[in-house]
A = this chain, B = another copy of it.
Amino acid sequence: MKGNVIVGQSGGPTAAINSSLAGVYRTAIDRGAKKVYGMLHGIEGLMEEQYIDLSKHITCDLDVELLKRTPAAYLGSCRYKLPDIHKDMSVYEKIFKILDKLNIEALIYIGGNDSMDTIKKLSDYAILTGSPIRFVGCPKTIDNDLALTDHTPGFGSAAKYIGTSVKEIIRDSQCLIYPKGLVSIVEIMGRNAGWLTGASALAKGEDCDGPDMIYLPEITFDIVKFRDKVKKLMETKSSVVVCVSEGIRTQDGKYVCELGNASDYVDAFGHKQMGGTASFLANYIAGEMKCKTRAIELSTLQRAGSHLASRVDILEAYQVGGAAVKAADEGDTGKMVVLVRHSDDPYQCGTEVKDVHKIANDEKIVPREWINKEGTYVTDEFITYVRPLIQGDVSPIMVDGIPRHLYHPKHKK
């Protein structure tokens, strides 16, 4: 490379997104980039000329290792969507002026569907105006809902965290026997795609029966059938653990979490804040069955739990970052790096580049045939798909008993 590289992060945090950043940084330096800049808070920050020189923050090999182990977007993130080119040219003029000033040869954007839309528009604009800058996207999302790629970096680590935590919850809930039993409802992220919720089945093994039921957002949720299944299970078990996606919906299309009202307080947008799906179902079952219930939200921990990251995931994230720089250096633009699986066992997976115009905001959901007929569990095919992605560990670098992260660059408010 002859010029400089700039990299940004966008969308929700993951445990692996900084490993992609490390991969971008290292590969860019290795291929001769003079400087590698990092946008602070993505394209939105770049427009305000908020960026850092990454070599000032990643000063040695240990920093690279720390960065791989640091959860959530190191550079900060944003949810900004660029306007259509023909609607507002000025935004693009501004961005390209900054990129030219920084002598940028390649822009790498790590993110999900929205970020790929950014890559698409910027590369279109470059072609339109004859700019030589190249734009390549790196997939990232715990939700695993990106089309074209076998899976997304970030998903494997979240799946490993979920499988492990659900297994620990199952043990915990078997301990004490309540007179009328205990029903635990575990709420897992994923509004429209059930990849993460399905990963709770990873808890199942020789030493654990796994969750009793798993409800994905791909299947319409029937609350009466659900209650009857819980009742049936409680006839033979003292503890029932059910994993549900935050996005499960009833026949009429309503989110289950919308069925209850959490409190009288209204949120910033003036409407009542909803209780969670788990909390609603736990209250419902307690009311219906007069038994002890528990609602457990895995919350943001499932996406930022880098202390339990998957080695496969962290290495692939790094690899994808490197492949994006390589592609840009070799002249690709308007592309996204994708992961292509060659086999499940032994697990073999490589990278390719695909045209970002083909991604088109499709959400990849769990195929119907990977969910059982009743809609209450995932099949063995699902597990065969996910299992390789959670293999291996990335030992945290512990300082004084707590995992060390790479020091955070100062962000302006």
Contact with B along A364-407 (1 / 0, CB 8 A): 00000000000000000000000100111101001111111111
Q: Copy number of this protein in the oligomer?
A: 2
Are B408 and A172 in contact, with the CB atoms below 8 A? Answer: no
Q: Is A175 an interface position by the 8 A CB rule? A: yes
Are B406 and A207 in contact, with the CB atoms below 8 A? Answer: yes
Contacts of A237 in B (CB 8 A): 413
When C-beta atoms are compared, the residue in chain B nearest to A273 turns out to be: B283
Given A73-B175, A301-B169, A411-B174, decide whether A310 and B275 contact each other with a Cβ distance below 8 A: no
Q: Is A167 an interface position by the 8 A CB rule? A: yes
Given A268-B290, A301-B169, decide whether A400 and B174 contact each other with a Cβ distance below 8 A: no
Which of A31-39, A158-166, A224-232, A327-335 is the interface stretch?
A158-166
Q: A306 to nearest B CB, angstroms?
A: 6
Q: A112 to nearest B CB, angstroms?
A: 13
Contacts of A395 in B (CB 8 A): 395
Contact with B along A140-155 (1 / 0, CB 8 A): 0000000000000000
Contacts of A398 in B (CB 8 A): 393
Are B174 and A72 in contact, with the CB atoms below 8 A? Answer: yes
Contacts of A72 in B (CB 8 A): 168, 171-172, 174-175
Q: A288 to nearest B CB, angstroms?
A: 9
Q: Is A84 an interface position by the 8 A CB rule? A: no
Are A171 and B391 in contact, with the CB atoms below 8 A? Answer: no
Contacts of A275 in B (CB 8 A): 262-263, 275, 279
Contacts of A280 in B (CB 8 A): 263
Contact with B along A89-130 (1 / 0, CB 8 A): 000000000000000000000000000000000000000000
Q: A385 to nearest B CB, angstroms?
A: 13
Q: Is A357 an interface position by the 8 A CB rule? A: no
Contacts of A303 in B (CB 8 A): 172
Are A207 and B286 in contact, with the CB atoms below 8 A? Answer: no
Contact with B along A255-267 (1 / 0, CB 8 A): 0000011111111
Contacts of A264 in B (CB 8 A): 260
Q: Is A76 an interface position by the 8 A CB rule? A: yes
Given A77-B176, A303-B172, decide whether A399 and B205 contact each other with a Cβ distance below 8 A: yes
Contacts of A293 in B (CB 8 A): 267
Which of these, B70, B76, B401, B413, contacts A387 with CB under 8 Å? B401
Q: How far is the CA of A297 from the CA of B169 in the complex (A)?
A: 14
Instruction: List A residues 55-82 near B (Cβ within 8 Å).
Output: 70-73, 76-79
Q: How far is the CA of A228 from the CA of B239 in the complex (A)?
A: 43
Q: How far is the CA of A406 from the CA of B404 in the complex (A)?
A: 30
Are A402 and B160 in contact, with the CB atoms below 8 A? Answer: yes
Instruction: List A residues 218-249 near B (Cβ within 8 Å).
Output: 236-238
Q: Is A211 an interface position by the 8 A CB rule? A: no
Q: A106 to nearest B CB, angstroms?
A: 24
Q: How far is the CA of A175 from the CA of B79 in the complex (A)?
A: 11
When C-beta atoms are compared, the residue in chain B nearest to A156 turns out to be: B401
Q: Is A13 an interface position by the 8 A CB rule? A: yes
Q: Is A252 an interface position by the 8 A CB rule? A: no
Q: A146 to nearest B CB, angstroms?
A: 19
Are B387 and A236 in contact, with the CB atoms below 8 A? Answer: no
Given A268-B291, A275-B263, decide whether A401 and B411 contact each other with a Cβ distance below 8 A: no
Q: Is A292 an interface position by the 8 A CB rule? A: yes
Give me 7 A-to-B residue pairs in the complex whose CB atoms sit less than 8 angstroms apart, sorted by A's number.
A71-B168, A79-B176, A168-B304, A169-B301, A301-B301, A387-B401, A393-B398
